[in-house]
Amino acid sequence: MQPHPSQPGHRTAPAVRRRLWPAAALGLPLASPVAVRWILELLLGDGGTPGGDAHLPAASLPAWALHGIGLAASAVAAACLYTLVKAVRAGHVRAGWWAVVAPLTVLGAFGGALLWVGQAPVIGANIGYGMMLLAAGPLAAICLLTAVAGAVGLAVSARSRAARRA
């Protein structure tokens, strides 16, 4: 059993989370495309049809390497999500940061799905890939504008809080 925070011997896990949340906020959107691509491959397979309409070349890595990369990306995404949730719940990070991180993570997840569809060697993949490309521009604009608006909102509220303290 861990001692109370006021007693000697208490570990400083909150201090570690306080320092790790920026890396977690960056890691979650960066790991999400690879994790989503790998999870879609596991759940739905590649549907390999000879002579399919794949637009993007498949990765030239062995299957074990692709699974290792996908598993590592999924573990990084889960660890980043856990770190962010714990930091917000502990009060080390303002909950408004979700307005920045969540749209970027959604955009990354859509990118992973787009990659999976683009590499699918099935007949008709060219139609699905084109439809996703049509949706990618507006989705990217919405996600990026939402993230920027969230960041500006956080900066304005931090500045007003600092002015009230002074």
Name the residue among 131, 134, 136, 130 with its Cα closest to residue 111: 136
pLDDT at 63 over 90: no
Q: What is the mean pLDDT of residues 8-37?
A: 79
Question: What percentage of the chain carries pLDDT values higher than 70?
Answer: 81
Sorting pLDDT into bands at 50, 70 and 90, what band is 54?
low
Domain residues of the chain, as ranges? 13-165
pLDDT in tens, 25-44: 999 999 999 999 999 888 87
The reported pLDDT for the residue numbered 118 is 82
pTM: 0.80
Question: What percentage of the chain carries pLDDT values higher than 90?
Answer: 44
Calpha distance 114→11 (Å, rounded): 43
Write b or e for each residue in 49-72: b if 16 or more Cβ atoms lie within 10 A of its Cβ, otherwise e. eeebebeeeeeeeeeeebeebbee
